[in-house]
């Protein structure tokens, strides 16, 4: 499903009705108590510490009758905008205003730190959209995602510095021209702001299987546009596009030190299946089952 992004610049300073607490990097036990209520897998202690120490996200829990029934996080993607993300209410405790309450809590924190608050949700999640609108969020600028034509490849220079990678972008343009790579661009009012590619054949057999597994390559968002949820929108679109093409799985590789990108992929259902090392350093191979998408 397509994702919708909302922005919030100010909020009404109304007292909170629920007990909401921030987690520390050592509170994995409390987090796992909540994940159990949601029917989700537990989080490893070192994973929560990594998220905190690399400033990927900060989590909070909302308590009701002594139970951590809802969670949310702040993800400080850029100097300009932070995202209120991963808002989840345990089944059996929904439709009680907890999502709205925790969104208000996160939004206040973001705006008090002088950032634009952003939040995204799937197009079909009407309840979350209503919660965002009740808090005061408004839809972000309309966007389009287009398939890149080889003649327009140089316009990607608005997203990343092509002068530093002449040999690589020429190789990628050739792959697009030959049909080995499909590149998609996130645009707003015609401006190129984000890019991602689907690769049909890769030299590494782990990454592609004819007609079954497709490889996700080069997810990048213009630095000045980061923190607005563009990466999540583009990633969701690429997964849907791969599924429409008839693929059952999508693979990718991410550098071990790029914890922020790994966090984004995990939120979208990718799981680690192998670790390796090449001339650029250690990296993780990840996989997503596209057939499980709703």
* pLDDT tens digits, one per residue of 219-261: 999 988 887 888 888 999 999 999 999 999 999 999 998 888 8
For residues 262 and 148, state if they share a domain.
yes
In three-state secondary structure terms, 162 is helix
- Residue 26: phi and psi, rounded to 5, are -100, 5
Domain termination site, one of 139, 169, 186 = 139
In three-state secondary structure terms, 178 is helix
**Which of 121-125, 185-189, 270-274 comes out lowest in average pLDDT?**
121-125
Residue with tokens 């397509």: 2
User: How many separate domains does the chain show?
Assistant: 2
Contacts of 264 (CB under 8 A, 6+ apart): 231, 232, 235
Domain termination site, one of 139, 157, 180 = 139
Q: Where are the beta strands (DSSP E) in the chain?
A: 3-8, 19-22, 58-64, 67-75, 81-89, 116-122, 138-139, 144-147, 181-188, 191-199, 213-221, 249-255, 271-278, 281-289
Bridge partner residues of 67 (DSSP) = 64
pLDDT of residue 73: 96
CATH number at residue 18: 3.40.630.30
Cα–Cα distance for residue pair 179/188, rounded to 1 Å: 26
Distance separating the N- and C-terminal Cα atoms of the chain: 7
Which of 226 and 196 is assigned the larger pLDDT?
Answer: 196
Residue with tokens 């987090």: 31
Residue 264 has pLDDT above 70, yes or no: yes
- Residue 165: phi and psi, rounded to 5, are -135, 45
Record the tokens describing residue 212, joined without a space: 């079954």
pLDDT of residue 287: 97
* pLDDT tens digits, one per residue of 117-167: 999 888 888 999 999 999 999 888 788 999 999 999 999 999 999 888 888
For residues 92 and 224, state if they share a domain.
no
* pLDDT tens digits, one per residue of 15-47: 667 899 999 999 999 999 999 999 999 999 899
Rounded CA Rg of the chain = 20
Structural domain containing residue 189: 144-292
Residue 1 has pLDDT above 60, yes or no: no
For residues 96 and 176, state if they share a domain.
no
Helix axes of 45-53 and 259-267: crossing angle, nearest 10 degrees: 120
pLDDT band at 13 (very low <50, low <70, confident <90, very high): low
Bridge partner residues of 139 (DSSP) = 6
Cα–Cα distance for residue pair 186/195, rounded to 1 Å: 6
Q: How many CA atoms lie within 13 A of 142 on its CB side?
A: 2
Are 138 and 5 a contacting pair, CB within 8 Å? Answer: no
Residue 113 has pLDDT above 70, yes or no: yes
For residues 187 and 102, state if they share a domain.
no
For residues 113 and 240, state if they share a domain.
no
Nearest to 2 by CA among 219, 222, 217, 232: 232
* pLDDT tens digits, one per residue of 55-90: 889 999 999 999 999 999 999 877 778 999 999 999
Find the helix or strand (DSSP H, E) in which 248 lies: none
Cα–Cα distance for residue pair 242/216, rounded to 1 Å: 9
Cα–Cα distance for residue pair 183/110, rounded to 1 Å: 33
For residues 221 and 283, state if they share a domain.
yes
- Residue 53: phi and psi, rounded to 5, are -70, -25
Going from the C-alpha of 24 to that of each of 33, 51, 83, 124, the distances in angstroms are 15, 11, 19, 33
Record the tokens describing residue 202, joined without a space: 């890769």
For residues 148 and 120, state if they share a domain.
no
- Residue 33: phi and psi, rounded to 5, are -65, -40
pLDDT of residue 77: 72
For residues 116 and 173, state if they share a domain.
no
Mean pLDDT of 285-289: 96
């Amino acid at each position: 499903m397509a994702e919708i992004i909302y922005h919030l610049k100010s909020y009404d300073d109304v007292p909170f009705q629920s007990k909401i607490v921030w987690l520390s990097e050592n509170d994995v036990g409390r987090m796992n108590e909540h994940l159990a209520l949601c029917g989700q897998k537990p989080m490893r202690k070192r994973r929560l510490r990594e998220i905190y120490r690399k400033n990927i996200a900060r989590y909070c829990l909302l308590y009701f009758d002594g139970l951590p029934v809802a969670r949310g996080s702040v993800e400080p993607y850029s100097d300009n905008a932070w995202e209120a993300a991963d808002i989840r209410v345990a089944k059996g405790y929904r439709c009680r205003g907890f999502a709205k309450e925790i969104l208000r809590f996160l939004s206040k924190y973001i705006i008090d730190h002088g950032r634009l608050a952003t939040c995204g949700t799937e197009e079909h999640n009407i309840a979350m959209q209503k919660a965002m609108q009740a808090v005061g969020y408004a839809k972000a600028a309309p966007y389009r995602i287009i398939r890149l034509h080889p003649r327009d490849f140089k316009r990607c220079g608005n997203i990343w510095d092509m002068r530093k990678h002449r040999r690589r972008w020429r190789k990628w343009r050739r792959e697009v021209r030959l049909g080995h790579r499909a590149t998609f661009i996130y645009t707003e009012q015609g401006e190129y702001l984000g890019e991602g590619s689907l690769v049909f054949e890769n030299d590494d057999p782990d990454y592609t299987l004819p007609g079954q597994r497709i490889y996700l390559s080069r997810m990048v968002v213009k630095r000045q546009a980061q923190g607005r949820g563009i990466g999540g929108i583009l990633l969701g679109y690429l997964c849907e596009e791969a599924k429409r093409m008839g693929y059952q799985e999508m693979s990718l590789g991410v550098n071990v030190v790029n914890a922020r990108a790994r966090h984004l992929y995990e939120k979208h259902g990718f799981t680690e299946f192998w670790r390796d090392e090449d001339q650029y350093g250690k990296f993780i191979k990840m996989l997503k089952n596209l057939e499980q998408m709703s």
